[in-house]
Amino acid sequence: VRRFDVVVIGSGPAGQRAAVQAAKLDRTVAVIDKRRELGGVSINTGTIPSKTLREAVLDLSGRRERLLYDSAPARPPVPIRDLLQRATQVIQHERRVVQAQLARNGVRVFEGAGRFAGPNQVVVEGPGETVTLEGSTIVVAVGTAPAQPPGLAVDHHRVVTSDDVLHLERLPRTMAVVGAGIIGVEYATIFAALGIEVTLIDKRTEILDMVDRELVAAFATAARRLGVTMRLGEEVRGIEALDPDHALLLLRSGKRMATDLVLISAGRHGATGDLQLDRAGLGADERGRIVVDEHYRTAVPHIYAVGDCVGAPGLASIAMEQGRHAVLHALGMPTAGPTRQFPFGIFAIPEISWVGPTEAELTAQDVPFETGVARYDEIARGQILGDEEGMLKLIVHLETRELLAVWVLGTQATELVHIGQTAMVLGGNLDFVVNNVFNYPTLAECYKVAGLDAFNKLRALGALPATTVTPAS
């Protein structure tokens, strides 16, 4: 038995940050991962591959050029080898970064599947000898695996999940994406930008139900223009092999659809099945998730669970912060408390990003608000970039002018959102936006334009106190 102050199961963003935080506090730390490659879903199969593919598609397909130059020549189809090569380079680099970071901080890495043998013991079974690690604190950060709905068997060839995208041997001519959540929508638009005919299917009648409806409407138009066909309110009942290279989708409505490739993105399940949680006095729900309190502590006080295996929001950004917070709490260090005001990013084409609630959520809570909108086509930088679809919307409290939410669609949305997030976290209100100067020409100027739009609406409503300074422009 090898003893450590902190034993972390999983080296994804949650586990990695937990381990480094504990090491920075001079604790002895072990990280266990069943994969030889460190970095979890985030680096190896999810976030980094999909985001690198997105950029490679935008560059190699010539889409950026075509938006800007009428004379841009048509490009030949992009070889899959070129797309995947770029992703592989970035993945390998990121893996090395994680490995070096753990090594630099003296974290011991054990390769193998971890399972509980008791509340403080984790057995690691891997390619080498089986070892038992004992930890005063244990952090479970095992993440998730793609859910496979019954009847939709994945063969990793014609029917794949996001885990298989990096192993595609060829690009399909036609593709069906089953499930219009974030991952489905991202890959549907990324593949459509390559000229592939993509059909996005979901049994729900709306896509992206967590997103403000005004942006969803604009996004759906942009996605259709890109070549995505949406079949909503349609359930896939089964998938059959049509021939060695084609699949046949059977829809509950009776429709049939032949396609080269089916990507199933029907949610993810906590990867807790093999952990023998019961040996530690714990359990998981029907989706493999572990219940935790606001400090990510399980029902057993020295065992914490962080990242995707505790459920929503399922973001690498949050997983990292949860890992750090859990360890600080376990080691009795003061923390700023769990993050509440955090941004979301959907790296589809176009991007969507936000911080704060939707208009519909605020209306349901009887919060009086006004909105201000800037459209990229009225912003000089939007013209320079050739992005005429983008928009930024501010939602402002009608009486206090507090910034309640920022919604952005279009180029750089996932970066732009942080300006609004900063203002919100620091308690800034609409006056901060309208009385500040932003570099020109930039997309950040959208904040000023949207702010003035909201400001003028508030003035027209008589909602501004007489002492409010009128902005100069």
For ligand FAD, the closer CB: 16 or 259? 16
Contact map string, positions 33 to 72, toward ligand FAD, x by CB under 6 A: xxx----xxx---xx--xx---------------------
Among 15, 135, 350, 420, binds ligand FAD (CB under 6 A): 15
For ligand FAD, the closer CB: 33 or 202? 33
For ligand FAD, the closer CB: 191 or 369? 191
- Asked whether position 9 contacts ligand FAD by CB under 6 A, the answer is yes
- Asked whether position 316 contacts ligand FAD by CB under 6 A, the answer is yes
CA 57, 179, 287 angle in degrees (round to 5)?
120
C-alpha–C-alpha distance, residues 467 and 462, integer Å: 12
17 neighbors 8 (Cβ within 8 angstroms) = no
Contact map string, positions 326 to 345, toward ligand FAD, x by CB under 6 A: -------------------x
List of E strands, 195-283: 197-202, 228-232, 236-243, 246-251, 256-259, 261-264, 268-270
Q: Kindly provide the b/e burial profile for residues 444-467, where b requires at least 16 CB atoms within 10 angstroms of the residue's own CB.
A: bbbbbbbbbbbbeebeeeebbeee
Q: Greatest CA separation found in the chain? A: 75
Contact map string, positions 135 to 164, toward ligand FAD, x by CB under 6 A: ------xxxx-----------------x--
Among 135, 172, 314, 382, binds ligand FAD (CB under 6 A): 314
For ligand FAD, the closer CB: 9 or 230? 9
Among 219, 347, 354, 432, binds ligand FAD (CB under 6 A): 347
Per CB under 6 A, the segment of 171-179, 304-312, 366-374, 375-383 that binds ligand FAD is 304-312
For ligand FAD, the closer CB: 88 or 470? 88
Question: At residue 442, what is the residue type?
Answer: T
Residues 6+ apart with CB under 8 A from 213: 358, 359, 360
For ligand FAD, the closer CB: 13 or 420? 13
List of E strands, 244-318: 246-251, 256-259, 261-264, 268-270, 303-305
C-alpha–C-alpha distance, residues 140 and 235, integer Å: 35
- Asked whether position 120 contacts ligand FAD by CB under 6 A, the answer is no
Scan residues 177-196 and list those touching ligand FAD (CB under 6 A). Answer: 183
Q: What single DSSP character describes residue 158?
A: S
Number of residues forming the site for ligand FAD (CB under 6 A)? 39
Phi, psi of 407 (to 5 degrees): -125, 130
Phi, psi of 202 (to 5 degrees): -150, 145
Give least dist CB 408 to ligand FAD, A.
15
Give least dist CB 203 to ligand FAD, A.
20
For ligand FAD, the closer CB: 14 or 261? 14
C-alpha–C-alpha distance, residues 408 and 390, integer Å: 7
192 neighbors 223 (Cβ within 8 angstroms) = yes
Which residues are at the interface with ligand FAD (CB under 6 A)? Answer: 9-15, 32-35, 40-42, 46-47, 50-51, 113-114, 141-144, 162, 183, 271, 274-275, 307-309, 314-317, 319, 345, 347
